[in-house]
């Protein structure tokens, strides 16, 4: 898929002198700081917000219409139609060969599940719907879990704790902290509840391209990793397994990621903007 570019490049004048001075100070301390190209201009931020509005409305639309007995292919058609009706493009479609407009990941599928007509939602299933939108060249990305019919208490708890992990990670994503703080907080909460954090996949920068730096791990140590700076936009999307954290990619399609032990996995994702005073969740 073609990567689109919109808006001016970052210039220090887009932010306060105090912000620029802080960046230079941390750099002199030997702490990795983000490249200027991923610090968004006000124009870029507004474009990303507009994309995110469509992405959020799309997930709301899915929430209203998803039901037991439907196929994941139906979900894909629904996502494509809604997105294009709003003048936007589904970012996953044809991205590095991915064949559909949405990722639909059921039960032991961790992520990147490919919709198909034979995959039917049954009572007791949990499913992650991951949607990403390009609008006027700007990208947004988010996912939600849905519980179909009569879901067991064990599966429901996994879904709920995973959402808590995402929320805790977002709360840690504060200006002048480190990316490692996010991962450490998520890992602590997941493991305290008896779960494991998938380590082979991560959150990422997004906004001008579908996947940009930085990588945002959902495990790790505090006070490590890149400095979090106002103007960054990235996802926090922990994948939490009921069993071990090991995963594998289905060789048949080259995309679908599954738990190695066959136990369920859950994921929630939001996209945030780091501000001077905290963060803004763009995909609520």
Give the tens place of pLDDT for each residue, 108-129: 999 999 999 999 999 999 999 9
Mean pLDDT of 27-49: 96
What pLDDT band is residue 17 in, cutting at 50, 70 and 90? confident
Mean pLDDT of 149-168: 98
Token pair in block for residue 35? 């490249």
Distance CA(109)–CA(282), nearest Å, equals 26
Cβ atoms 174, 279 nearer than 8 A: yes
The share of the chain scoring above pLDDT 70, in percent, equals: 94
Tell me, what's the pLDDT at 188? 98
Helix extents (H) in the chain: 17-28, 42-65, 72-85, 153-172, 179-192
Tell me, what's the pLDDT at 15? 58
Q: How far is CA 243 from CA 10, 27, 154, 203, in A?
A: 43, 40, 12, 21
Cβ atoms 170, 79 nearer than 8 A: no
User: In this structure, what DSSP letter does residue 200 have?
Assistant: S
Mind listing the pLDDT tens digit for each residue in 246-273?
A: 999 999 999 999 999 999 999 999 999 9
Token pair in block for residue 172? 């840690």
**Average pLDDT taken over every residue of the chain:** 94
Distance CA(230)–CA(22), nearest Å, equals 11
Return the domain boundaries, the chain: 39-281
The answer to whether residue 14 scores a pLDDT higher than 60 is no
Q: How many Cα atoms within 13 Å fall on the side-chain side of residue 187?
A: 18
Domain 39-281 is found in CATH 3.20.20.150:
no
The answer to whether residue 6 scores a pLDDT higher than 70 is no
The answer to whether residue 8 scores a pLDDT higher than 50 is no
């Amino acid at each position: 898929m073609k990567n689109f570019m919109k808006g001016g490049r970052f210039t220090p004048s887009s932010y306060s002198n105090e912000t620029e001075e802080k960046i230079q100070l941390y750099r002199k301390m030997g702490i990795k700081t983000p490249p200027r190209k991923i610090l968004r201009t006000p124009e870029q931020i507004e474009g990303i917000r507009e994309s995110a509005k469509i992405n959020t409305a799309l997930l709301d639309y899915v929430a209203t219409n998803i039901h037991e007995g439907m196929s994941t292919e139906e979900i894909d058609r629904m996502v494509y139609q809604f997105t294009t009706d709003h003048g936007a493009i589904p970012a996953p479609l044809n991205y590095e060969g991915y064949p559909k407009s949405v990722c639909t990941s059921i039960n032991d599928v961790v992520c990147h599940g490919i919709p198909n007509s034979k995959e039917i939602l049954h009572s007791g299933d949990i499913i992650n719907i991951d949607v990403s939108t390009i609008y006027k060249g700007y990208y947004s990305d988010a996912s939600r879990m849905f519980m179909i019919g009569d879901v067991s208490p064990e599966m429901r708890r996994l879904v709920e704790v995973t959402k808590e992990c995402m929320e805790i990670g977002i709360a840690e994503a504060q200006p002048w902290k480190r990316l490692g703080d996010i991962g450490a907080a998520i890992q602590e909460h997941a493991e305290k509840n008896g779960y494991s954090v998938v380590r082979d996949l991560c959150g990422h920068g997004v906004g001008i391209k579908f996947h940009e730096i930085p990588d945002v791990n959902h495990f790790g140590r505090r006070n490590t990793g890149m400095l979090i700076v106002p103007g960054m936009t990235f996802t926090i999307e922990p994948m939490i397994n009921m069993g071990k954290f090991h995963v594998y990619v289905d060789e048949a399609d080259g995309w679908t990621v599954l738990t190695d032990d066959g136990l369920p996995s859950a994921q929630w994702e939001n996209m945030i903007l780091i501000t001077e005073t905290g963060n803004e969740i763009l995909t609520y």
